[in-house]
Amino acid sequence: GENVEQHPSTLSVQEGDSAVIKCTYSDSASNYFPWYKQELGKGPQLIIDIRSNVGEKKDQRIAVTLNKTAKHFSLHITETQPEDSAVYFCAASHSTLTFGKGTMLLVSP
């Protein structure tokens, strides 16, 4: 089955810096790659997703890139703010979602 590796497990940045989280996947048939943000006491919430026919997608301060050949995809957050502090999960899917283990992002004012 699919295996998704996510790095780093924790990431601390200063407000205004950029943050990058990287994921790799194993199943070349995977064609959908969502990113979720989970705040304390809440369920995961989709923040951006990308499909295998696209190399990059951007939504305001958030962008995702996909390299199908290398089987890796990354989340980029620019101009980070304290409210970006949360746990972020990547996932890959051919039929069902397989999640990475998560990255705890801490943005210090």
Residues 33, 43, 51: CA angle, nearest 5 degrees: 10
How far apart CA 109 and CA 106 sit, in angstroms, is: 10
At 57, the amino acid letter reads K
Least Å from the CB of residue 14 to another protein = 26
Q: Which is nearer to another protein, 10 or 12 (CB)?
A: 10
Least Å from the CB of residue 77 to another protein = 19
Least Å from the CB of residue 55 to another protein = 17
Region label for 71, one of left (φ > 0), alpha (ψ between -120 and 50) or beta (otherwise): left
Residues forming contacts to another protein in the complex (CB under 8 A) are 1, 6, 9, 31-32, 34, 36, 41-46, 49, 51, 89, 93, 96-102
How far apart CA 84 and CA 109 sit, in angstroms, is: 11
Q: Which is nearer to another protein, 32 or 106 (CB)?
A: 32
Least Å from the CB of residue 47 to another protein = 10
